[in-house]
């Protein structure tokens, strides 16, 4: 009972931090409803058309799963990091580490379930007609219509909330391990978490390598492994976090001289200093930009081996990409919104030392821009490696194969995602009077 009261009370006071998990779980439920709707429709559709829908559902589910695991786990880690001091103060007040752990798990369960229910409620009315429209240009599926299913909606809620709670297990362990002195000082860094992430990244790279070896033999059957190699590599790099992100920020921002812009220098320092916040945003940006680019690049590279254009209809590609890309983009923006208290504190610190009202806003905007450019550059590098590797294993048996890099798609998704992050970063940095509006006499 005390745990429940503590969880609810903290949710009320820290709702800005938890709103990120709510938003991400809502979008994850919408994204998960797409393969769920396809599965229900495939089971109800006879003949080859049903099998085709189930095949699309499988690919869509795979991409949604990658996005959910990377983004939701990153959001949960950020939530725990932002509340480090709160957990330290709880222990100073007499709450045991076990109590801290179960309280955070309960909070994660409440917020993720509420978000999943909200997202599923929207998906019931939006996803079925969107899926039907997307299938119009697919061979043999133009006349297929899907209907909402409450059974599928229930499964989506359970899976989405379950994924968040599973991701919350590591966050709750971090919360329980928080030293009481953290409430008075700097947050601690978990070496165990870094080792686990490195292990996961190695396993993902090994999986991508095994799929890469089977690409030439799969060309006659549609080259399904080529669709997943790039996204799996994207997930591997996203899991590594600051191991990749910090060097990338240091390298490309070095082209701007230290004295060229005070605002840019402060933004660059903020990205490096607030590593947990930056890591989460970069992971989501990498998935948002890299996932669709890797899929389309691998798809077109494999198609070039037999002298064909992109296999399949554009509608099927939209089905596969829309949910994961939206989830990752919203996740990137949510990380910026979750850190509103930190950004407001940074704004007040700059004002306290005599900075103009506009400087904190410029710093916040440039911080979002630095994160967006870094995520785009890392995503482009990963996709380039994946596409080049696919071409290298294909060109021996298929001399006509060409490495195809979808620059237009990368640029469009990068601009959209970076714009969301910049806006979400700037809003907490705006002067309080501007955000509240004019005071009426």
Please state, in angstroms and rounded to a whole number, the distance separating the CA atoms of residues 242 and 250.
11
Please state, in angstroms and rounded to a whole number, the distance separating the CA atoms of residues 355 and 186.
25
Please, which pLDDT band fits residue 308 given cuts at 50, 70 and 90? low
pLDDT reported for residue 441: 36
Cβ pair 6, 95 in contact under 8 A: yes
Closest CA to 409 of 252, 298, 282: 298
The tens digit of pLDDT for each residue in 158-188 reads 999 998 888 777 777 776 776 665 544 444 4
Please state, in angstroms and rounded to a whole number, the distance separating the CA atoms of residues 347 and 360.
5
Q: Which spans in 241-261 are helix H?
A: 242-253
Please state, in angstroms and rounded to a whole number, the distance separating the CA atoms of residues 36 and 47.
19
Question: Measured between alpha carbons, how far is residue 46 from residues 39, 51, 140, 292 in Å?
Answer: 13, 8, 12, 31
What angle do the packed helices 340-352 and 407-429 form, to 10 degrees? 60
Please state, in angstroms and rounded to a whole number, the distance separating the CA atoms of residues 56 and 94.
53
Lowest-confidence segment of 91-100, 151-160, 338-347, 380-389 by average pLDDT:
338-347
Please, which pLDDT band fits residue 132 given cuts at 50, 70 and 90? confident
pLDDT reported for residue 424: 84
pLDDT reported for residue 191: 58
Choice between 199 and 172, residue whose per-residue pLDDT is larger: 199
- 2 burial (CB, 10 Å; 0-12 / 13-18 / 19+) is exposed
Closest CA to 335 of 415, 421, 274: 421
């Amino acid at each position: 009972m005390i745990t429940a009261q503590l969880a609810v009370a903290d949710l009320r006071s820290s709702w800005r931090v938890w709103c990120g998990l709510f938003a991400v779980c809502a979008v994850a439920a919408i994204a998960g409803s797409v393969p769920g709707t396809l599965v229900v429709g495939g089971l109800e559709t006879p003949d080859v058309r049903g099998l085709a829908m189930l095949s699309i559902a499988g690919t869509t589910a795979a991409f949604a799963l990658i996005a959910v695991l990377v983004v939701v786990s990153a959001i949960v880690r950020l939530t725990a990091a932002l509340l480090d001091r709160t957990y330290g103060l709880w222990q100073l007040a007499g709450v045991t580490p076990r109590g801290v752990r179960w309280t955070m798990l309960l909070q994660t369960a409440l917020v993720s379930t509420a978000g999943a229910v909200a997202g599923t409620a929207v998906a019931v009315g939006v996803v079925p007609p969107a899926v039907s429209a997307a299938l119009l240009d697919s061979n043999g599926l133009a006349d297929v219509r899907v209907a909402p299913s409450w059974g599928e909606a229930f499964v989506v809620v359970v899976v989405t909330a379950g994924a968040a709670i599973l991701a919350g297990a590591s966050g709750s362990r971090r919360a329980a391990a928080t030293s009481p002195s953290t409430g008075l000082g700097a947050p601690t860094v978990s070496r165990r978490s870094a080792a686990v992430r490195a292990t996961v990244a190695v396993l993902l790279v090994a999986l991508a390598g095994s799929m890469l070896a089977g690409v030439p033999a799969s060309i006659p059957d549609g080259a399904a492994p080529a669709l997943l190699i790039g996204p799996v590599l994207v997930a591997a790099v996203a899991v590594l976090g600051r191991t990749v992100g910090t060097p990338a920020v240091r390298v490309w921002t070095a082209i701007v001289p230290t004295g060229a812009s005070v605002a840019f220098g402060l933004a660059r320092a903020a990205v490096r200093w607030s590593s947990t916040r930056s890591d989460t945003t970069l992971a989501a940006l990498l998935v948002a930009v890299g996932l669709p680019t890797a899929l389309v690049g691998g798809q077109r590279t494999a198609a070039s081996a037999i002298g064909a254009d992109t296999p399949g209809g554009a509608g099927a590609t939209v089905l596969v990409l829309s949910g994961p890309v939206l989830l990752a983009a919203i996740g990137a923006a949510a990380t910026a919104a979750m850190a509103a208290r930190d950004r407001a504190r940074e704004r007040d610190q700059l004002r306290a030392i005599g900075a103009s009202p506009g400087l904190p806003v410029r710093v916040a905007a440039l911080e979002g821009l630095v994160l967006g450019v870094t995520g785009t550059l890392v995503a482009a590098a990963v996709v380039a490696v994946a596409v080049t590797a696919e071409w290298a294993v294909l060109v021996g048996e298929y001399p006509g194969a060409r490495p195809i890099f979808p620059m237009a798609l990368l640029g469009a998704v990068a601009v959209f995602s970076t714009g969301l992050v910049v806006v979400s970063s700037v809003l907490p940095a705006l002067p309080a009077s501007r955000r509240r509006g004019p005071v009426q006499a």
